[in-house]
């Protein structure tokens, strides 16, 4: 434990984030899950908690500014539109898009992949074309392409991962060919935590004339993301994984691609003109946003972006790397525990997935829950990855900017207790 104490002292010395002050921003962290049992929330990879400023921004919209956007000339509609579009501009700045027209509001990252598969894919993918994915993809970046490939007669190929949870990049020359039309991959694995070399993968796709799409659901909330530096053609992420509300996500796309794509859905607000014979589509980004949008949710996401910007994404990333390193070393002390993914915090996001010999992951999670510790157990919407590892499920603890080393200590103590319950 001497080394762990040195890590604690190192974190305190750097003062990367004022974590206790941050924790005060999240009302739910004051909750007792059971009488006398405080919440230890270690499930941020599934969905993060929301700070008060996000809740207040959405409440203020409903109390003071609610009206439909883009469709009225009265004061409330103008205020709502300004708040809604202002959030889009700040989100564009957050990922360094060249313009807010490249930011398409979706319900979540999953809808972003489906939008590209439906609109770009059904226009550009033909029989015999190939779509390249990786073996560590979330179902959101797998099922839409399976559906498209089945419909079009296309072929899916996969970049395998190595035993350490990193991609086998040596296979890229064989997998990326003139037949490849799209390479869609995760920036950070939601199971292994592996941080993939995004720009290298994008460049490899472009070298054979393919487009590159990035699943950034586990990246945008945790580290600085620059779509221009990545040079990706599309990128999707979700608001609820970055201190924002559910029901709102973002699809980023290069403008020339979005301009050429047909609409995803038809209805109000995605048109400029309609007559009985046909319609003319609206400009970007509204061409892809049919119907009344999630106005309050977009405003909440814009406020979440402001909150993260105020903290500083470099600082958030540095603190989470410290936490991950602390967790990896602490968890290694639990007998029978096997960690999945890279062994170095420098190669990982704030995710640790593991199994404990002799205890099913669901039982681990249930025992931890009785101690107020919220983790996730199951396949984490990545069944093929687990099958490839020869297991059906893992327990996953994931951290965020409000996580403390004391909470990780409680996790480790809870795992020791689980082994005692099972008499291991």
Which pLDDT does position 82 carry in this prediction?
Answer: 97
User: 156: buried, middle or exposed (CB in 10 Å: 19+, 13-18, 0-12)?
Assistant: middle
What domains are defined for the chain?
2-48+312-421 (3.90.1150.10), 54-310 (3.40.640.10)
* Assigned token pair, 392: 């059906």
Q: Tokens 């898009």 correspond to what residue?
A: 97
Which residues in 57-74 are b (16+ Cβ under 10 Å) and which e? bbeebeeebebbbbeeee
pLDDT of residue 8: 54
Report which of 216, 213, 215, 255 is spatially closest to residue 234, judged by C-alpha positions: 213
Would you state the structure tokens that stand for residue 271, as one six-digit string? Answer: 């048109």
Whole-number Å distance between alpha carbons of 362 and 254: 42
pLDDT by residue for the chain (424 residues), tens digit each?
A: 455 554 554 455 445 689 999 999 999 999 999 999 999 999 999 999 999 999 999 999 999 999 999 988 899 999 999 999 999 999 999 999 999 999 999 999 999 999 999 999 999 999 999 999 999 999 999 999 999 999 999 999 999 999 999 999 999 999 999 999 999 999 999 999 999 999 999 999 999 999 999 999 999 999 999 999 999 999 999 999 999 999 999 999 999 999 999 998 998 888 889 899 999 988 999 999 999 999 999 999 999 999 999 999 999 999 999 999 999 999 999 999 999 999 999 999 999 999 999 999 999 999 999 999 999 999 999 999 999 999 999 999 999 999 999 999 999 999 999 999 999 8
Cβ-contact 377, 361 below 8 angstroms = yes
**How large is the C-alpha radius of gyration of the chain?**
22
The DSSP bridge pattern shows strands 155-159 and 130-134 to be parallel
Q: In angstroms, rounded to a whole number, what is the distance separating the alpha carbons of residues 57 and 296?
A: 8
CA atoms within 13 A on the CB side of 72: 15
249 contacts 106 by C-beta, under 8 angstroms: yes
Q: Please list the alpha-helical segments (H only) found in 247-382.
A: 255-260, 295-311, 313-331, 361-369
Which tokens hold the place of 95? 């990922």
Print burial letters for 167-194: b (CB count within 10 Å at least 16), e (below 16): beeeebeebbeebbbbbbbbbbbbbbbb
Task: Determine the Cα–Cα distance for residues 389 and 161; give it in Å rounded to an integer.
Answer: 10
List residues with catalytic annotation. 381
Length of the chain: 424
For residue 126, the tally of other CB atoms under 10 A from its CB is 10
pLDDT value of position 15:
56
Buried b (16+ CB within 10 A) or exposed e, 367-379: bbbebbbbbbbbb
Give the torsion through C-alpha atoms of 286, 292, 295, 301, to 10 deg.
-60
Rounded CA separation 285/97 (Å): 13
Q: What is the pLDDT of residue 71?
A: 81
Which pLDDT score is estimated for 13? 40
> Would the pTM count as exceeding 0.85?
yes
């Amino acid at each position: 434990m001497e080394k762990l104490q040195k890590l604690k002292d190192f974190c305190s010395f750097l003062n990367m984030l004022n974590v206790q002050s941050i924790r005060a921003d999240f009302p739910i962290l004051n909750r007792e899950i059971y009488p006398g049992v405080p919440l230890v929330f270690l499930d941020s990879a599934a969905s993060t908690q929301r700070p008060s400023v996000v809740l207040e921004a959405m409440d203020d919209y409903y109390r003071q500014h609610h009206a439909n956007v883009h469709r009225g000339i009265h004061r409330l509609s103008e205020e709502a539109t300004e708040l809604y579009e202002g959030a889009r501009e700040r989100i564009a700045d957050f990922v360094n898009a060249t313009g807010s027209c490249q930011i398409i509001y979706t319900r979540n990252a999953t809808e972003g992949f489906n939008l590209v598969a439906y609109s770009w894919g059904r226009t550009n993918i033909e029989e015999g074309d190939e779509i390249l994915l990786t073996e560590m993809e979330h179902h959101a970046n797998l099922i839409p392409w399976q559906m498209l490939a089945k419909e079009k007669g296309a072929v899916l190929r996969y970049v395998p991962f190595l035993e350490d949870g990193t991609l086998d990049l040596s296979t890229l020359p064989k997998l990326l060919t003139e037949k490849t039309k799209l390479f869609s991959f995760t920036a950070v694995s939601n199971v292994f935590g592996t941080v993939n070399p995004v720009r290298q993968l994008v460049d490899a796709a472009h070298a054979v004339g393919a487009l590159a799409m990035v699943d950034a659901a586990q990246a945008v909330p945790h580290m600085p993301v620059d779509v221009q530096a990545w040079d990706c053609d599309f990128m999707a992420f979700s608001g609820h994984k970055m201190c924002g509300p559910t029901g709102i996500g973002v699809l980023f796309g290069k403008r020339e691609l979005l301009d050429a794509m047909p609409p995803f859905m038809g209805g109000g607000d995605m048109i400029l003109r309609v007559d009985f014979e046909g319609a003319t589509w609206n400009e970007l980004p509204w061409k892809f946003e049919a119907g009344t949008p999630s106005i309050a949710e977009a405003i909440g996401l814009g406020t979440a972006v402001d909150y993260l910007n105020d903290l500083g994404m470099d600082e958030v990333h540095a603190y989470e790397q410290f936490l991950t390193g602390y967790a990896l070393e602490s968890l290694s002390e639990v007998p029978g525990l096997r960690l999945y993914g890279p062994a170095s915090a420098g190669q990982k996001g704030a995710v640790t997935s593991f199994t404990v010999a002799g205890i099913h992951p669901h039982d681990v999670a249930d025992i931890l829950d009785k101690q107020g510790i919220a983790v996730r157990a199951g396949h984490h919407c990545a069944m093929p990855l687990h099958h490839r590892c020869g297991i059906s499920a893992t327990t996953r603890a994931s951290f965020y900017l409000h996580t403390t080393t004391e909470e990780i200590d409680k996790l480790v103590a809870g795992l020791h207790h689980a082994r005692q319950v099972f008499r291991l």
